[in-house]
Amino acid sequence: MTGFLILAFLLLIAGVVAVPLASRFGLGSVLGYLLAGMAISPLLGALRVDVEALQVFAEFGVVMMLFIVGLELEPKRLWEMRGKLLGLGGGQVLLTTLALAGLSVVSGYPWQTALAIGMILALSSTAIIVQTLTEKNLLRSEGGEASFSVLLVQDVAVIPILALIPLLALPELAAAAAGHAGEGAHGGLDLTEHMTGWLAAIVRIAAVGAVIAIGIYAIRPLFRYIAAANLRELFTAAALVVVIGIALMMSLVGLSPALGAFVAGVVLATSEYRHELESDINPFKGLLLGLFFITVGAGIDFGLAAERMDEVLFWAAITIAAKFAVLMLVGWSYGLRRESLWLFALSLPQAGEFAFVLISFALGNAVLGTELADLLLLIVALTMLVTPLLFILYDKVIAHAYCSNREMREADSIEEENAIIIAGRGRVGGIVDRMLDAAGHHATVIDYNSQHLENLKKFGVKTYFGDATRPDLLASAGIDRAKILVVALDEREQIDKLVRYACEMFPNLHVVARAKDRDHVYHLWAMGCRDIIRETYDSALRMGRSVYEALGHDRQAANAMVDAWEEMDRTSMREIADVYRLDIPPYENEELLAKIRELKAEWDPKLRDAMDQIASRGS
């Protein structure tokens, strides 16, 4: 028990210390975990910890991660991605395998070994890429979706790779491989191991079909039954049962547990229990993924790395360069451009966690020698270690360069002067502009998204490119003679900057400002703005009215109840805004807190009485 507690404490403290430090310096959590593993590697060695066994356990975090990713992908959306799956994913796996196999043959390896090396290194790290893209909010971007499509195809490609590797066996390695014989694809029991090829294929297809059937017909009744007990811990246990059970089923038939979990997640993407499943699995996923990255860092053999540093660095560089070139080619052919192409190519050139499994499998099937296998393990670990640095390169150089290029475009010359100026023509500003135009009022609209403006131009919408917070641009738009300024920008900082400038410099200008939330309303009020619209307020009122109606109140009563609540909210906000201060955080402003408590005590009973009276009149 003591040994287990020491190990758990050591792993947790390594992550808790390293990850915040890495994040503070912009290195990301993945690199933080990897560095933490490298730092505690000597301690784990002194404690005689089996890092490989720990890594196999931690790989279940990848399974959970793909289950959660599947929950966010409805089958319809997955079908829409079929072009990316086949074109990008299939092209990357095939071309990368051929490129790396060719380089290996040139280096003197037998073609069988070279082909195995190509297939092993062609796969990328699902754990690192999905985790990093999610952290950076890039998973839903064009480049992020392309990267995920490739990762998904790679997980499927593991199946034919596992089937092909035994056919590449070399007679001269057979004796050495005897010690590794009997290991399944994932280091465990494989019921299809001794089946004929066609029978194994049927069993595996049936297993995938069973996962889909379970997701459609069995899991929903299971969770309805569990929900009836009204115990949160039982729901968490049931969520773990689903993921572990599906992973076990996939492992028993020689398939990727991560693939099975992903399929199950996609099937459950439309389930009413999707959000509960995601919230229950997320903590386990995060801890296990962190543990996996720590084990990768701790598993680096620094002694061997020092002895063969030249070879390791050479082949790691060759692997990254070859995969990067293939990714650029495939991405360009598919239509990726600019920062999306760079994100795609820089996110996938490393080897992945499945390489550890495939290297062991190839070693046991007389395809790789022990010395080469050890070298490949170091190459895989190094490429994974370099990956967070490639993301930093993307963030600091590539994305910044394209952003700078957009900024380098000169602002348009504003050739008209109107009584109304609209800053920002996105979701909010666009509707305001159309409403004004319908009533015969023309506005000068300024926006900073050049691509958006090019699209609007195709529909005959005239919008000027430029930064609406720049005083010189506002001056050219005639702000000193304008009557109304509509601030509909997306970023809170930009809204604050423009509102402060307009209110200070043009006190007679009527400023209508978009607020991101309640606190932002107070902030803008303190700056001098007196016409502030919360961006989600009116839709929330409409939703509240719909709930009142669903509870049995008629439309007239529901409207009256909403009006009563809105009157209370607006009145109380006006009083709170008078004590809000820009120089003190809200939760440290004692006068503000006291006013909120006072108004709550005053308004809650009044509002309840008003609601009861409205409801009684309605009935």
**What digits encode the pLDDT tens for the residues 35-48?**
888 888 888 888 77
Residues 486 and 495: their CA atoms lie apart, in Å, by 10
Sign (positive/negative) of CA torsion 279, 280, 283, 288? negative
DSSP string, 117-158: HHHHHH---HHHHHHHHHHTT-TTSHHHHHHHHHHHHHHHHH
49-64 pLDDT, tens per residue?
877 777 777 777 778 8
What's the whole-number average pLDDT of the chain? 82
Residues 458 and 451: their CA atoms lie apart, in Å, by 11
* Mean local confidence (pLDDT), 374-397: 87
Q: Which of 211-215, 326-330, 524-528, 568-572 has the highest mean pLDDT?
A: 326-330
Confidence of residue 288 (pLDDT cuts 50, 70, 90): confident
- Region of residue 33 (left: phi > 0; alpha: psi -120 to 50; beta: else): alpha
Question: What is the per-residue pLDDT for 512?
Answer: 94
Q: In this structure, which amino acid lies at residue 190?
A: D
- Are the CB atoms for 123 and 337 separated by under 8 Å? no
Rg (CA), the chain: 30
The answer for residues whose C-beta is within 8 angstroms of residue 384's C-beta and 6 or more apart is 34, 125, 128, 296, 350, 351, 352, 353
More confident residue, 110 or 156: 110
* Mean local confidence (pLDDT), 511-521: 89
- Are the CB atoms for 301 and 378 separated by under 8 Å? yes
Question: What is the per-residue pLDDT for 78?
Answer: 67
419-451 pLDDT, tens per residue?
999 998 888 888 898 899 888 888 998 887 766
Nearest to 315 by CA among 107, 170, 124, 116: 107
- CB under 8 A, 24+ apart: contacts of 460-466: 461/425, 461/433, 463/425, 464/411, 464/412, 464/414, 465/409, 465/411, 465/412, 466/411, 466/412, 466/414
Residues making up the chain, counted from first to last: 619
With a cut of 80, say whether residue 170 has pLDDT above it. yes
With a cut of 60, say whether residue 406 has pLDDT above it. no
Q: Phi and psi dihedrals of 559, rounded to 5?
A: -65, -40
With a cut of 50, say whether residue 478 has pLDDT above it. yes
With a cut of 50, say whether residue 182 has pLDDT above it. no
Range with the poorest average pLDDT among 106-115, 452-461, 574-583: 452-461
Question: What is the per-residue pLDDT for 106?
Answer: 93
With a cut of 50, say whether residue 186 has pLDDT above it. no
**Which regions of 46-142 does DSSP assign to beta strands (E)?**
none
* Mean local confidence (pLDDT), 559-570: 87
Confidence of residue 349 (pLDDT cuts 50, 70, 90): very high
- Are the CB atoms for 479 and 498 separated by under 8 Å? no
Sign (positive/negative) of CA torsion 285, 290, 293, 295? negative
* Mean local confidence (pLDDT), 225-240: 79
Question: What is the per-residue pLDDT for 117?
Answer: 95
Instruction: Copy the structure tokens of residue 483.
Output: 């009557």
Question: What is the per-residue pLDDT for 184?
Answer: 42
The answer for residues whose C-beta is within 8 angstroms of residue 419's C-beta and 6 or more apart is 441, 482, 483, 484
Instruction: Copy the structure tokens of residue 218.
Output: 């069995």
SS3 content of the chain, % helix, strand, coil (to 5): 75, 5, 20
Question: What is the per-residue pLDDT for 2?
Answer: 73
Name the pTM for this structure: 0.58
Question: What is the per-residue pLDDT for 313?
Answer: 93
Question: What is the per-residue pLDDT for 183?
Answer: 44
Question: What is the per-residue pLDDT for 450?
Answer: 62
